[in-house]
Chains A and B, each alone.
Chain A
Amino acid sequence: MRLFLAILIGKIIIKLTRFLKLGGGSAAPGLYALKIDPRLVEKLVKKIPQNIVITGTNGKTTTARMLAHLAKEAGLKVIRNHTGSNLERGIASVLITHYQLPTTNYQLGIWELDEAAFNTVVLKIKPDIIIFLNVSRDQLDRYGEVDKVVNDWCNTLSKIDPKTTILINADEPDFKKLKNYFPNIKAFGKKDLKNTKLNGLKGSEFRIQNSEFRINLPGIYNIYNALAAITCAKLLNLPVKNLTNFQPAFGRFEKLPFGYIFLIKNPTGATEVFKTIAPHIRPQDRLLLALNDNIADGTDVSWIWDADFEKLRTTNSEQRTICSGKRAYDLAVRLKYAGFDTKYIRVEPSLKKALREAREGLKGQLFILPTYTALLELQKILKSHYWEES
């Protein structure tokens, strides 16, 4: 009865937020429904035959999308928290939205959980497989230090049903410890990859066992995401087809008519992006970087000093670069100390104005590197912009 009421209230909030156009409705319905029935996630997830949980610092959304893609190609009906709302309330919202009486006919649940939410929510989801992607310094103000994140995961693992399959990245040194807390851990990593070929911004090719794969996402880090998704799909006995038609989530790697967007949000992820794109930046191209310090970005911007902006510097000292966002000047200082010529650095905190300026007289491509909330803002600007144009 309580569950029924919680779902009902949740569904009403979803309808209301949509009707009143109050945000995306990705958290509020779940938040209130959980107040009515704190065991809602547990009760609803139980109705889905198989569940996967994905956690780690970088690549959660991309891996979840890839796995969903493979599962859908294999004909499964998939439910997942695709909004990137990876706290318990986000998951509750998804479950409520798609919950239909009398039964729900989803066959596979794919749930991405952030580093902290993982420890509580995974015990409610009781998944068949847990994937640990990687761990590195992320929002210290929210998650704490890397050692603490891994220690908490170890504690959680010791409470998990031993029948669960744990799948870890074998090449992540900080994951060695996890093995002491769970009897049987499977791993994916370099050992599984053959004939790896990076085709610049076009994507990559690689071979796993006897199958050739091609993904339209650049960078080694995306090969790891694909490898995690493919390994998991195989554990589920899905017929694994190619990922050629896979479309990434907005901003993880976005091809625009006038350039590209790459989300940057922590030192390791950002440095990987810099290494991936720097060789492809030509003199006529421009850079637009946007740094915010909202809660979803992390309120501490000192992480930019741990990211290797030196790797983003091209041989062309006259590369036009625009810094934007609430912390635009912090970014500009970081670039100056990374060896960028200040004559070619422009600072424009307003993202809308910065984008307009960056596109004015642009002869090459524009590389846009925003933090999370700057990406959301950018998405809005681009949407309305395209709407105006069409």
Chain B
Amino acid sequence: MKLTIGYLYGDLMSIYGDTGNITALRKRAEWRGIEVKLKVKSLKSKIKKGECDLIFFGGGQDQQQSLVARDLESSGKGKIIKQEVERGVPLLAICGGYQLLGDYYQPHKGPKLAGVGLFPAYTIAGDKRMIGNIIINSQFGKLVGFENHSGKTYLKKEGQPLGKVIKGFGNNGQDRGEGCIYKNAIGCYMHGSLLPKNPALADWLLEKALNIKLKPLDDTLELEAHHAWRDI
């Protein structure tokens, strides 16, 4: 069995240790005998329909982020990603990636940056940085991570949050919601890296990508790390 992971702008959007999510997906697939191919899709590359079984999109620095925002639109990649998610391809987007897949990003000054419009959400630049450990309740159980963002994301009426904040700020520090889930696509502010310490979520993404039921792994260490975060 083969799995192709598309890593959106992996060269530009990979700070905050988000690459750990790719490592987790790759290893957890390989440990089950699944062959993994990683394709980094950046400024010059194209993305074809049906090319990737799973898509990951990390966070970046401000300058890179506006570059990527423009490329998503001008290269047509944004549109294809949206179509892929509509037909059920799983996707995980963290922080900057999450913001760019919403309707728009409104910076402090200047015009709105258009988003892909995949998540029914929009983001407004904030003044205060929301930094610290975050824990949420979600359909995957408790999820733990570390958030560090000043953008405030608001879901539109039809938007469904990934979970409810138990500790931390979440989307905007106001409505206790964190992240957004749309079909098999998840966007959120959780670094950490997220997937290594939340193996249930990693496996859900893999199962959706391959349309199979996975055999469980020995996750003793992962769950210890998960619980250690919850104790903080």
Of residues 145 to 176 in A, which have CB atoms within 8 Å of B's CB atoms?
145-148
User: Which residue of chain A is the closest to B27 with respect to CB atoms?
Assistant: A337
Chain A contact residue count (CB 8 A cutoff): 27
A109-120 vs B, CB cutoff 8 Å, 1 = contact: the mask equals: 000000000000
Q: Is B107 interfacial (CB 8 A cutoff)?
A: no
Q: Are A137 and B15 in contact (CB under 8 A)?
A: yes
Report the stretch among B3-11, B84-92, B180-188, B192-200 that lies at the interface.
B192-200
Q: Are B225 and A146 in contact (CB under 8 A)?
A: no
Of residues 74 to 93 in A, which have CB atoms within 8 Å of B's CB atoms?
none
Instruction: Give Cα A147 to B12, complex, Å.
Output: 12
User: Which residue of chain A is the closest to B133 with respect to CB atoms?
Assistant: A299
Q: Are A302 and B225 in contact (CB under 8 A)?
A: no
Q: Which of A328, A332, A337 has the most CB of B within 10 A?
A: A337
Q: Is B139 interfacial (CB 8 A cutoff)?
A: no
Q: Is A221 interfacial (CB 8 A cutoff)?
A: no
In angstroms, how far is the closest chain B Cβ from the Cβ of A129? 30
Q: Which of B20, B131, B229 has the most CB of A within 10 A?
A: B20
Instruction: Give Cα A323 to B87, complex, Å.
Output: 43
Instruction: Give Cα A301 to B229, complex, Å.
Output: 11
Q: Are B15 and A140 in contact (CB under 8 A)?
A: yes
Number of contact residues on B: which range applies?
20 to 34
Q: Which of A145, A299, A345 has the most CB of B within 10 A?
A: A145
Q: Are B17 and A330 in contact (CB under 8 A)?
A: no
Q: Are A337 and B225 in contact (CB under 8 A)?
A: no
Of residues 317 to 337 in A, which have CB atoms within 8 Å of B's CB atoms?
327-330, 332-334, 336-337
In angstroms, how far is the closest chain B Cβ from the Cβ of A307? 9
Instruction: Give Cα A328 to B221, complex, Å.
Output: 10
Q: Are A302 and B224 in contact (CB under 8 A)?
A: no
Q: Which of A137, A145, A305 has the most CB of B within 10 A?
A: A305
Q: Are B221 and A333 in contact (CB under 8 A)?
A: yes
Secondary structure of the A contact surface, majority rule: helix
Instruction: Give Cα A328 to B146, complex, Å.
Output: 16
Instruction: Give Cα A339 to B17, complex, Å.
Output: 18
User: Which residue of chain B is the closest to A323 with respect to CB atoms?
Assistant: B221
Q: Are B16 and A332 in contact (CB under 8 A)?
A: no
Q: Are B148 and A141 in contact (CB under 8 A)?
A: yes
- Choose among B27, B63, B148 the residue that contacts A140 (Cβ–Cβ < 8 A): B148
- Choose among B23, B148, B222 the residue that contacts A300 (Cβ–Cβ < 8 A): B148
Q: Is B83 interfacial (CB 8 A cutoff)?
A: no
Q: Are A337 and B197 in contact (CB under 8 A)?
A: no
Instruction: Give Cα A146 to B228, complex, Å.
Output: 29
Instruction: Give Cα A329 to B219, complex, Å.
Output: 12
Q: Which of A137, A300, A301 has the most CB of B within 10 A?
A: A300
Q: Are B224 and A329 in contact (CB under 8 A)?
A: yes
User: Which residues of chain B are near A304, meaning CB under 8 Å?
Assistant: 17
In angstroms, how far is the closest chain B Cβ from the Cβ of A144? 9
Instruction: Give Cα A373 to B150, complex, Å.
Output: 28
Q: Are A337 and B15 in contact (CB under 8 A)?
A: no
Q: Are A147 and B61 in contact (CB under 8 A)?
A: yes
Q: Are A302 and B221 in contact (CB under 8 A)?
A: no
Q: Are B23 and A337 in contact (CB under 8 A)?
A: yes
- Choose among B16, B132, B228 the residue that contacts A329 (Cβ–Cβ < 8 A): B228
Q: Is B127 interfacial (CB 8 A cutoff)?
A: no
A294-313 vs B, CB cutoff 8 Å, 1 = contact: the mask equals: 00000111111110000000
Given contacts A302-B16, A305-B196, contact A333 B61 (CB under 8 A): no
Instruction: Give Cα A205 to B133, complex, Å.
Output: 45
Instruction: Give Cα A300 to B132, complex, Å.
Output: 7
3 nearest A-B pairs in the assembled complex, by CB-CB distance? A305-B20, A302-B17, A305-B17
* Cross-chain pairs A/B with CB under 8 angstroms, 30 sampled: A137-B15, A140-B16, A140-B148, A147-B63, A148-B62, A299-B132, A299-B133, A300-B16, A300-B146, A300-B148, A300-B191, A302-B20, A302-B191, A302-B193, A305-B17, A305-B20, A305-B196, A330-B197, A330-B229, A332-B224, A332-B225, A333-B196, A333-B197, A333-B221, A333-B225, A334-B196, A337-B20, A337-B23, A337-B24, A342-B221
What residues make up the interface of B, taking CB atoms closer than 8 Å to A? 14-20, 23-24, 27, 61-63, 131-133, 146, 148, 191-193, 196-197, 218, 221-222, 224-225, 228-229
What residues make up the interface of A, taking CB atoms closer than 8 Å to B? 137, 140-141, 145-148, 299-306, 327-330, 332-334, 336-337, 342, 345, 347
**5 extra interchain contacts, Cβ-Cβ under 8 A, other than A145-B61, A299-B131, A299-B146?**
A141-B148, A147-B61, A299-B133, A301-B146, A306-B15
